[in-house]
């Protein structure tokens, strides 16, 4: 007999993990199912990491409303969860005089939607904030911020787990069978039962719905490519800078975003593709990203690229469609006890907790939800060596031999931080899992110095055979075995 849960959440992105965590506020058993070997491996881990203010979406839309709500609470949640957050504000800049009306439209749209701290800035005001940006004026948004979307998602999952949720990785749902009023969810030979299913499968939301008998959705993947610049460029920009959005391009336009870790991102492009897994980059797009970036900030010309990546937006409207694809959060019209989320692209990260609360409200229409007395929203974060002042560094090193060794030179990550990352509550042991939790391998040498040390730690201290070490997912082997 398979294990049974009150609610199963399908999808370990920011939204699925937020839902799992919010569901844990109530007396019920919760399981989160993720097809990859870690959370945040899809869209949630491949975006700009911007916490949006909410002025980009039509007033009255679910996306606009939940974005404004999410933005207002984001800093607090990051504090609770021990996730980096920086209140940077944001500039939408008019590069040509004819862009100016668009700024006013955005301002009006934002004010109508209740977005705080919006102002039109003169070129001089803009230059005072960002000296490298040559604009004909800008829209300043004071409530916009940045976070690390992967750590945010990981923190939500860990906090959900600490509050009783079961997080099951490598569980790619391939069948959702009805069983009475509930479901049996299967992944290969494995199966578990749930009274309710929340479909937060992102790019695969239509497929998961269809597995449960609901064919009402279709997802159109839209790829966005990014470049990550070396930290040496950090001084050139402190605010996310966007061009005026152009209608019909499927995104907010190629923008520049400082990250909480001190890099600058260029991107994303917007290109509808057939694959839901092709997160590869292309030479043509990367060339264009550079052109667009230099239009915004010419001083970037000398900057070096550390790496490139791409993410896929899960759109509910196809290429060329003029209508706005709002967030969809609803009871399935075909299958009882199934709640579907679809089209959660930007600003889904910002709106993740409001979305989760909305799911809880929908669920409460179907069954009574009773608050748990012992829900704990806080999550402890390991101490960072790199951001600690000298006195604290000295104390850390004095107290702990593992804090006396730097494993990652570029990002100044100690062995202690590597071990903390390796001992993560979700049990992720991949090199990428360590990377996203510790920042090892993310610097300018891209693991040239530290990755061998991570592999050695896995083998020598955790007993993982070389052939079982993974970069990321199950098939992402790194070694064939020992040298003969």
Partner 1 sequence: MRGEKIFRADVAVIGGGPAGLAAAAAARAAGAERVLVLEREPLAGGILNQCIHDGFGLVRFGEALTGPEYAGRFLRAAEERGVDIRTRTMTLELTAERRLRTLGPRGYETAEAGAVILAMGCRERTRGAIQIPGARPAGVFTAGVAQYYLNRQNMMIGRRALIVGSGDVGLIMARRLTLEGARVLAVVEKLPYAGGLARNVVQCLEDYDIPLLLNHTVTRIEGERRVERVTVARVDEAGRAVPGTERVWACDTVVLSVGLIPENELALQAGAEISPLTGGAVVNGDLQTSIPGVFACGNALHVHDLVDHVSAEAETAGQSAAAFIRAGTAARAEDRLIPIRPGAGVRYVVPFFLRPGARSLISLRVKEPMSRRRIEVRAGGRVLAARKFPRLTPAEMVRLTLREPAPPETETVEVMISDD
Q: Which is nearer to partner 1, 196 or 385 (CB)?
A: 385
Largest CA distance in the chain: 69
| Shortest CB 277 distance to partner 1, Å | 6
Q: Which is nearer to partner 1, 291 or 482 (CB)?
A: 482
**Which residues in 117-156 contact partner 1 (CB under 8 A)?**
none
Would you list the DSSP string of 55-87? -SS-TTSHHHHHHHHHHHHHHHHHHHHT--EE-
CB contact set of 441 (below 8 Å; sequence gap of 6+): 408, 431, 434, 435, 447, 450, 451, 454
| Shortest CB 288 distance to partner 1, Å | 12
User: Which is catalytic among the residues 52, 231, 313, 315?
Assistant: 52
Q: With contacts defined by CB under 8 A, name the span among 155-163, 186-194, 370-378, 469-477 that binds partner 1.
A: 469-477
* Cα dihedral 33/39/44/45 (nearest 10): -150
Q: Which is nearer to partner 1, 294 or 305 (CB)?
A: 305
Q: By three-state DSSP, how is residue 15 classified?
A: helix
By CB under 8 A, tell whether 463 contacts partner 1: no
Among candidate residues 412, 408, 436, 409, the one with its CA nearest the CA of residue 422? 436
Q: Which is nearer to partner 1, 89 or 443 (CB)?
A: 443
By CB under 8 A, tell whether 301 contacts partner 1: no
By CB under 8 A, tell whether 306 contacts partner 1: yes
By CB under 8 A, tell whether 188 contacts partner 1: no
Distance between CA 360 and CA 370 in Å, rounded? 11
By CB under 8 A, tell whether 420 contacts partner 1: no
Among candidate residues 197, 98, 86, 77, the one with its CA nearest the CA of residue 148? 86
| Shortest CB 433 distance to partner 1, Å | 13
Q: Give catalytic status of residue 255 as yes or no.
A: no
Among candidate residues 4, 1, 105, the one with its CA nearest the CA of residue 55? 105
By CB under 8 A, tell whether 216 contacts partner 1: no
Size of the site for partner 1 (CB under 8 A): 59
By CB under 8 A, tell whether 108 contacts partner 1: no
Among 39, 406, 419, 434, binds partner 1 (CB under 8 A): 406
**Burial (CB count within 10 angstroms: exposed 0-12, middle 13-18, buried 19+), residue 294:** middle
Q: Which is nearer to partner 1, 237 or 407 (CB)?
A: 407
Among candidate residues 141, 70, 88, the one with its CA nearest the CA of residue 110? 141
| Shortest CB 476 distance to partner 1, Å | 4
Catalytic residue positions, numbered: 52
């Amino acid at each position: 007999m398979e294990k049974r849960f009150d609610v199963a959440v399908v999808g370990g992105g920011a939204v699925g993990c937020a839902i799992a965590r919010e569901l844990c506020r109530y007396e019920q058993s919760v399981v989160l199912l993720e097809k990859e070997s870690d959370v945040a491996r899809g869209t949630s881990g491949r975006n700009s990491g911007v916490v949006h203010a909410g002025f980009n979406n039509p007033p009255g839309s679910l996306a606009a409303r939940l974005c404004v709500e999410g933005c207002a609470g984001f800093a607090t949640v990051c504090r609770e969860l021990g996730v980096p957050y920086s209140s940077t504000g944001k500039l939408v800049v008019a590069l040509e005089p004819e862009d100016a009306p668009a700024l006013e439209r955005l301002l009006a749209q934002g004010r109508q939607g209740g977005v705080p701290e919006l102002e039109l800035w003169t070129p001089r005001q803009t230059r005072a904030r960002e000296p490298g940006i040559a604009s004909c004026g800008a829209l300043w948004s004071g409530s916009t911020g940045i976070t690390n979307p992967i750590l945010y998602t990981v923190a939500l999952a860990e906090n959900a787990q600490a509050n009783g949720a079961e997080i099951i990785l490598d569980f790619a749902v391939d069948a959702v069978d009805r069983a009475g009023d509930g479901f049996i969810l299967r992944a290969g030979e494995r199966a578990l039962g749930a009274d309710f299913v929340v479909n937060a499968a992102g790019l695969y939301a239509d497929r998961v719905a269809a597995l449960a008998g609901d064919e009402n959705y279709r997802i159109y993947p839209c790829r966005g490519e990014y470049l990550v610049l070396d930290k040496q460029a950090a001084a050139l920009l402190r605010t996310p800078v966007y061009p005026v959005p152009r209608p019909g391009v499927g995104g907010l336009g190629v923008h520049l975003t400082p990250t909480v870790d001190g890099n600058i991102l260029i991107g994303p492009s917007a290109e509808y593709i057939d694959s839901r897994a092709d997160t590869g980059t292309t030479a043509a797009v990367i060339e264009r990203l550079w052109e667009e970036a230099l239009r915004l900030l010419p001083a970037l010309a000398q900057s070096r690229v550390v790496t490139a990546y791409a993410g896929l937006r899960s759109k509910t409207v196809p290429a060329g469609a003029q209508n706005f694809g709002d967030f969809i959060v609803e009871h399935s019209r075909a299958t009882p006890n199934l709640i579907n989320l679809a089209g959660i692209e930007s600003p889904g990260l910002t709106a993740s907790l409001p979305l989760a609360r909305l799911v809880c409200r929908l669920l409460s229409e179907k069954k009574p939800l009773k608050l748990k007395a012992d829900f704990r929203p806080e999550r402890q974060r390991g101490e960072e060596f790199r951001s600690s002042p000298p006195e604290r560094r000295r104390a850390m090193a004095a107290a702990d031999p593992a804090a006396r060794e730097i494993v990652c030179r570029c990002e100044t990550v100690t062995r202690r931080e590597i071990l903390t990352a390796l001992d993560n509550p979700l049990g992720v042991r991949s090199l990428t899992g360590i990377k996203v939790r510790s920042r090892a391998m993310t610097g300018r040498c891209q693991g040239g110095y530290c990755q061998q040390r991570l592999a050695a730690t896995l083998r020598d201290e955790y007993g993982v055979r070389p052939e079982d070490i993974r970069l990321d997912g199950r098939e992402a082997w790194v070694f064939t075995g020992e040298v003969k």
